Amino acid sequence: MTNAEIVDLLELTGRLMELHEQDAFRTRTFTAAAFNLDKSTADLANLPVEELVKLPGVGKSLAGKIREIAETGRLTELDELLAQTPSGVMDMFRIKGLGVKKIGTLWRELGIETIPDLQQACETGRVAKIKGFGVGTQDKILAALEFLQEQQGKVRMDKAAMLANLLHDLLAEHFDRVEISGQVRRKAQEVDTVQLLVQTSDPVSAMLTLNSLPNLEQNKPNSSPFAWRGRLKGFDVGVELLLNSAEQTDRQLFIQTAAEPHLQQVGAGGMSLLQAAYTSQDASEAAIYERAGLPYIVPEMREDDFAFRWAARYHADDLVTWDDLRGTLHNHSTWSDGKQSVADMANYCRELGLTYFGIADHSKTASYAGGLDAERVRQQQLEIDQLNLNYGSDFRIFKGIESDILGDGSLDYDEATLATFDYVVASVHQTLTMSIEKATSRLLRAIENPYTTILGHPTGRLLLAREGYPIDHKVIIDACAEHNVIIEINASPYRLDIDWRWIDYAMQQGVMLSINPDAHDFAGLLDMHYGVAIGRKGGLIKKMTFNALTLSEIASYFQERRAQIGKK
């Protein structure tokens, strides 16, 4: 059991205890322990009870529960609570903004036990009549339900890649060639079908082999002699395995990777890409583009005609790569809600070959995340000064902060405190329900603040979980251009925000983009791979990537910007 799995089970136990109105003190014990252990770097599964009780929020009883989870993968108390809870009530936990208490009220007062029941109760106005709800809450629930229905059967980029690689390794034991294709190869941020190509000269035997593999569940009505369709047990996303001969695999890899609008693009000779793919004697991807009379497009960008408009100004080699990144600027540590110290995070960055690490812990208003007040900012910066003394000229820690953008658009500190940072990432974290006018106005004021260096996750979205607040992207990007503010590509696969469709417009306006992992631990730093993928999808080139600047270039940038603020 991983730490995350143990914490998830403890947190779910606490939530269900609250739902069933059990002892408040015991409920808080579970929820507090889950909160504290989520930040722990200890290997919970391998700690004995006498070591577990030394961790914050863990008493002897809870330590026993953790041992039970680690040894059995289950918790008896949680199993009993789940047995008392309708599965439809469990589904309501996925609705953003609907807390445990409100779910309990809906269940007990209206007898709502399924998502369809909840939707009907909202549509008939019954939810609005409950004390503590009202029309506003009812409308928000309906909007959240609509969003969830749209996202059903999809997974994020990271889960899709994990599943695709799992299937690839499984299939490679039985077939000579297996290729990941479709949405996963195209680096779609949300995936509804994980597709792989399987090379075989005997489709009948291949299909029998696929149906003999463990955990593969075929949907026979949707399958065909050359296409196995179904699911991998435990994953809520479609799987498509296409059987091809050796002569057709390369051709089909190209065809299945590109979206239909891309394949329909016509080159100078009047031939579409799809026609070129089927008629080219050389089935390599470069040869197919050449036969169609079109410039080569990397797999990530094969969505529609945008890539060809982009190719009129740039070349595929201009696109940013992982190797182009020189540092990372939006990261958290144990000073706020991170799991590793500043020193450990910085040293891991050095191991990754990066030359600078920027710490941007939460600001004071984010008290739920251990946000730093002015005194703790000073203490952290003293620690950074000491750490930097130990590095040579080839590495440096920069002093940043992720400042909350408050309701009126102001930043979270006075000017004296803001002036102590090398840079400021300005982000919205609270009061997310806004009209497009309110959200745009709020961001504009933050962008106009001379201390704002980077605009963090501009829409606040959580993919497949929470729709972002609406903003006028052109107005925001234009303002960033005017005030020399960089825009973040939040590389967390939960966010990938700013959306890739706005990257090219930002570059056209002269706005640089920073691929920021929003890392809270070592693994989070590697999320920059997703940021690079989504950056390339949107056409991001190296010279417009802020954290592709060298250490000396970015140090000079920060110094010059602070000097300009001082002159105002």
Q: How far apart are CA 243 and CA 329, in angstroms?
A: 44
Rounded to two decimals, what is the model's pTM?
0.87
| pLDDT for position 568 | 63
- The pLDDT tens digits for 182-221 are 999 999 999 999 999 999 999 999 999 999 998 999 999 9
| pLDDT for position 511 | 98
- The pLDDT tens digits for 272-318 are 999 999 999 999 999 999 999 999 999 999 999 999 999 999 999 99
Query: Quick one: which H or E segment has residue 217?
Result: strand 216-218
Q: Which domains does the chain have, with CATH numbers?
A: 1-85 (1.10.150.110), 89-152 (1.10.150.20), 156-313 (3.30.460.10), 322-567 (3.20.20.140)
Burial of 515 (0-12, 13-18, 19+ CB in 10 A): buried
Concatenated DSSP letters of 441-505:
HHHHHHHHSTT--EE-STT--BTTTBPPPP--HHHHHHHHHHHT-EEEEE--TTT-BS-GGGHHH
Weakly modelled stretches of the chain, pLDDT under 70: 568
| pLDDT for position 145 | 87
